Amino acid sequence: MTETYLVSPSQFRVHKTCPEQHYYTYGLQLRPRKRDTKFDVGSYFHELAHFYYQLLKSGYKIGDPHTISAMDTKLRNDLKEVKPSFQKTLLQVHIMFMRYLKRRTSVIDSNIEILEVEKELQLLVPGTTVGIHGILDLLYRKRGKLVIRDHKTGENKSAHSNESISFDDQLLTYAVMVWKIFNEIPIIEINWVNSKVDYKTEPTNDQLFGHYTKTLTKDYLEGYWTYLQEYVYHMQTVPRIRSMTTFKCKQCPYIDPCLFALRGLDNRNLIEANFEKVPRNYDYQRFTEIAKANKDSRPDSSSQTNELDFGELRINFS
Ligand code: SF4
């Protein structure tokens, strides 16, 4: 039996950026040995959001002391378990999440009926062995409407708007999957949370949060579904070629091996030294699983600290 090859929205995005980058990322399954802190912040925020919305789904109430206490216990346990070199990232996300709990969730989550938290979906592309694969952050119903929410973090709020969400290929891919699987056209929504924590004065809610939605139509989703199928065909049939532009290459983690290969040089030692092979589910691994202290390894004394202070949250974990 032929195995289904799963493609995620992230994989589409990398392929659209540069097919050669896609080859390094998903063909060779390489990632830089030095981790990207921005990726860790987003990954851990998603993990906390998953925990929080599971609490709400199981009956905990927004703003209730039991809910705050359950989250507090989770945050403190995570801090004890991770390697010292990850603790600063954890504390940064703790501040983001505590702000989210105190100032945001009661605004955007009141009267929602949570249907799924981190729901995994797969949709086979007809006539192929390719399956489109995705994990929805949150699927809920409000006033009868089905809504897919995606949590996004970062420092650039202007990267999102009610207009740009119409072209958000990750959310549109999820919307197609929900429409095809549940036979209902969903609304798509971005829940943006600022990852900047070190403000000199108290930041406003407008600085910290953003909320963008788009109501979709059947025509729009049909068009996007046709486009997705065409793109899968394109990925399978068109030979890979570099998308060389200054902007893309300057930001590309594979620039050194790529330029070595372009000049006809052997890049294997460079790859061996700077990259590691990761499992196919790497993008979906939980941050705390990666960051947990290895009992056999020595503490990372270079970055170990007993107290971190971000102004409004100071935690001593000695
Ligand atoms: S350096 Fe440029 S051409 Fe090479 S893989 Fe990266 S984006 Fe593509």
pLDDT single digits (tens) 121-177: 999 999 999 999 999 999 999 999 999 999 999 999 999 999 899 899 999 999 999
pLDDT at 1: 58
What is the position in ligand 1's atom list of the atom closest to the CA of 21? 5
- Beta carbon of 18 within 6 Å of any ligand 1 atom: yes
Q: Which atom belonging to ligand 1 lies closest to the Cα atom of 242? A: 3
Query: Per-residue confidence at 2, pLDDT binned at 50, 70, 90?
Result: low
Residue of 244, 259, 267 best suited for mutating to test ligand 1, as the one with most atoms within 8 Å of CB: 244
For position 284, what pLDDT does the model report?
A: 67
The backbone region for 144, taken as left when phi is positive above 0, alpha when psi lies in -120 to 50, beta otherwise, is left
Residue 31 CA, ligand 1 centroid: distance in Å: 14
40 lines ligand 1 (CB under 6 A): no
Tell me the mean pLDDT in the region 101-116: 96
User: Ligand 1 center to residue 26 CA distance, Å?
Assistant: 14
Distance 55 CA to ligand 1 centre (A): 42
User: How many residues appear in the chain?
Assistant: 318
Tally of CB atoms within 10 A around 86: 24
Confidence of residue 304 (pLDDT cuts 50, 70, 90): very low
Closest Cα to atom 2 of ligand 1: 249
Q: Is 21 in the pocket of ligand 1 (CB under 6 A)?
A: yes
Mean pLDDT across 48-68: 96
> What's the mean pLDDT when you consider all of the chain?
89
pLDDT at 12 over 80: yes
| Cα-Cα end-to-end distance for the chain | 54
Lowest mean pLDDT among 31-40, 144-153, 195-204, 224-233: 31-40
Instruction: State the Cα–Cα distance between residues 155 and 167, nearest whole angstrom.
Output: 20
Q: Is the pLDDT of residue 293 over 70?
A: no
**Percent of the chain at pLDDT above 70?**
90
CA of 253 to the centre of ligand 1 (A): 8
> Candidates 30, 252, 260: which one to mutate for ligand 1, based on the most atoms within 8 Å of Cβ?
252
Q: What is the distance in A from the centroid of ligand 1 to the CA of 248?
A: 7
Cβ of 20 closer than 6 Å to ligand 1, yes or no, is yes
Please determine, for residue 244, whether its predicted confidence score (pLDDT) is greater than 70: yes
Task: Provide the pLDDT for residue 287.
Answer: 73
Mean pLDDT value of segment 72-87: 90
* Protein residue closest via CA to atom 4 of ligand 1: 258
Please report the pLDDT score of residue 305 as a whole number: 44
Average pLDDT, integer, range 72-93: 91
Residue pLDDT, tens place only, 219-228:
999 999 999 9
Ligand 1 geometric centre to CA of 9 (Å): 19
